[in-house]
Amino acid sequence: MDTEVSRVDSKTNGTTSRPLPAENTDDVVIDCKINELYYGTFKAVRDTQIPIKKNSITAFIGPSGCGKSTVLRCLNRMNDLVRGFRFQGHVKYRGKDIYDRSIDPVAVRRYIGMVFQQPNPFATSIFNNVAFGLRINKFKGSKIEKVEQALKRAALWDEVKDKLNNSGLSLSGGQQQRLCIARAVATDPEVLLMDEPCSALDPIATRKIEELMLELKNRYTIAIVTHNLQQAQRVADKTGFLYVDTTAGGRTGYLVEYGDSKQMFEDPKEKHTQDYIRGEFS
């Protein structure tokens, strides 16, 4: 299998658009190709193509402001909420472009779930938080079973099983984030997007969630954004490194390198990646 990575010519600091070499595309769940992405007149991202593979964890790393969260939010159409958002390119989920006019963004968000940076449980009981997804999908079966299943998958069941009616906001930060993960996996989405899920948490909670991610990847496909290189190293199968291009005056992000995490961290091919990973800039 050809594991050559897509290259960006860092000397000219622009893309010489070489097509993605023949990787095994059977297991690509989401194929994201962004030519240009704008928020109003601000060009946020350019020339980024990342495949998200099934049952694996793909990490986006890069310095702050390089558009990692933007790219992630493109994958489930969360950027629609921002005024002035538009982009050229496509995001194909199982071969269908989710930005096609006939596709309902609400539907997209139902089969691509998201966990945010700050834990954000609803102001109801823990049970209702997890059952929220079940309710809006008109799930007819036994809610309590599914809630239990989801909480077990999020490794939270033991801690809350006797206080399911307590408010979701009464949990600690790490527990709240696990509650949000349970809420996201309750409906069994195919893909889970996680936007810096551990940045608001202490190291112990972080470790728990990382273990969780490694377990969850057997069942779901996960894409995470992280600014913690060690986390990406521990957790991710594939990593994409994005960097900021300031040549045109603004701050435009673009994909510098993408490949197997192991290889990228041990032997990065691009100079920017080398600098970043070896810590010469944040």
Partner 1 sequence: MSKDNSFSRKELNSADNELVQNPFAGVDFAELELSLYRPRTLFTIILSCLVTVMTFVALIPLFAVLWMLIWRGGQKLSLALFTELPPAPLEQGGGFGNAIIGTVIMVGLATLITVPLGVLTGVFLAQAQDSKLAGGVRFAAKVLTGFPSILAGVFAYGAVVLAMGGFSAIAGAIALSILMLPTIILTSESAIAMVPAKMKEAAIGIGATSAQTALMVLLPTAMPGILTGIMLAVARAAGETAPLLFTALFSNYWIATNGQVELMPGCPSPIRSNSPGQRRWCLFLSS
Partner 2 sequence: MASASSKAQLREEVASWNPGQIWQAPTQTQRLLDSAFRRLCVGFAAFTILLIAWLVLEIAFRAMPAFREHGLGFIYGTTWDPNKAQYGILPEIWGTLYTSLLALVVGSAFGVAAAIFLSEGYLGEFVFKILKRGNLHAHPVWGKLPERLELLLKNLIELLAAVPSVVYGLWGLFVIIPMIRPACNWLHAQFGWIPFFSTTLSGPGVLPAVFVLSIMILPTITAISRDALASVPPKLRMAAYGLGATRWETILGVLLPTAARGIFGGIVLGCGRALGETMALAMLVGNANRLTVSLFSPANTLAALLANSFPEAGAKEIPVLMYAALILLAITLVVNIVGALVLERAAGKAVAR
Give whichever of 46 and 92 is closer to partner 2, judged by the CB atom.
Answer: 92
Q: What's the min distance (Å) between Cβ of 187 and partner 1?
A: 8
Q: Which does 101 bind (CB under 5 to 8 A by kind): partner 2, partner 1, none?
A: partner 2
Neighbour tally for 49: CB within 10 Å? 18
Write the burial class of residue 21 (CB in 10 Å: 0-12 exposed, 13-18 middle, 19+ buried). exposed
274 near partner 1 (CB under 8 A): no
Q: Is 253 a residue that touches partner 2 (CB under 8 A)?
A: no
Question: Which of the residues 72 through 101 are near partner 2 (CB under 8 A)?
Answer: 94, 96, 101
According to CB under 8 A, which one of 3, 24, 118, 137 is a site residue for partner 2? 137
**Could you tell me which residues are beta bridge partners of residue 112?**
191
CB 204 within 8 A of CB 174: yes
Strands 42-53 and 252-260: parallel
Q: Is 16 exposed, middle or buried (0-12, 13-18, 19+ CB in 10 A)?
A: exposed
Please tell me the distance from the alpha carbon of residue 40 to that of residue 83, in angstroms, as a whole number: 7
Number of Cβ atoms within 10 Å of the Cβ of 129: 24
Residues in region 91-120 near partner 1 by CB under 8 A:
106-111, 113-114, 116, 118, 120
Q: Interface with partner 2 includes 146 (CB under 8 A)?
A: yes
Residue 176 touching partner 1 (CB under 8 A): no
- The footprint of partner 1 (CB under 8 A) covers 76, 78, 81, 106-111, 113-114, 116, 118, 120-124, 132-133, 135-137, 180, 183-184, 187
